[in-house]
Amino acid sequence: MIESSQDLLGRVAVVTGSAQGIGKATVLKLASCGARVAINDLPETTRAQVVAEEIQKHGGEAMLALADVSDSQAVEAAIRSVARKWGRIDILVNNVGIHQDSFVLNMPDAAWQKVIETNLAGVFYCSRQVLGYMLEQRYGRIINISSVAGIIGNVRRANYSASKGGIIAFTKSLAQEVGSRNNTLNAIAPGLITTEPTAFLPQEEKNAIMAGLAIKRFGTPEDIAEMVAFLAGPGAGYITSQVIRIDGGFA
């Protein structure tokens, strides 16, 4: 487990795509801070249960909230199951992100639609579903995992970049809608993080990215989880509508 505190004791957090990578590091971090965590991933995954058991082994509280975030009805059922169990929802981390890479000229409709529906529509579905609880509580923290690709673009990933740029615009818009009820929304834009998808990048592409970094290493999922925990915690109550790049100083 990551170094612990009790800043989030009693809070309930939902983290999408949390069976691996950034999502897994995030639920472990939030649990170590005292939050009760709902682990979301695809219904067919077995990894989510392993993560839940790891949290429980260390004395934390965890449950599964499995759903494909691109399915609004499945999202509704998953979020309702969390609220039934714990009575509230305080924190949502929209972390799910997929990509199906292709030059635009050759990109099939299905590749565009699947990435947008999962990465962007999923953020909308999950956020809409938790807002009822957060507005009633007059407390909520939504943290959306975007990407530097959503700011500067990325060759062969126009669909991914568009979805991540859309997340930034969505974050800023919704922050204005709900701020008066003590709800904050922020986005984190990671650079290259050492997760499964980035492991398959060509070495020459990794070398080119490394050359542009001020800090000469790639990021880790824990680097992102630390910022999520801060934004979810009591010290970030006056931070909203922000996009925080965690990219090692990528030029």
Domains in the chain (CATH in brackets) are 12-192+221-246 (3.40.50.720)
Residue 160 annotated among the catalytic residues of the structure: yes
The type of residue at 45 is T
Q: 3-state class of 14 per DSSP?
A: strand
Question: How high is the pLDDT of residue 153?
Answer: 96
Beta bridge partners of 91: 13, 141
Question: How high is the pLDDT of residue 4?
Answer: 62
Q: Alpha-carbon Rg of the chain, whole angstroms?
A: 17
As a whole number of angstroms, the distance between CA 187 and CA 242 comes to 6
Q: Where would I find the H helices in 87-220?
A: 109-116, 122-137, 149-152, 158-178, 196-199, 203-211
Structure pTM? Answer: 0.96
Catalytic residue among 133, 139, 160, 238: 160
Q: Per-10-residue mean pLDDT for the chain, 251 residues long?
A: 77 98 98 98 96 97 98 98 98 97 97 98 98 98 98 95 98 98 98 78 85 95 98 97 97 73
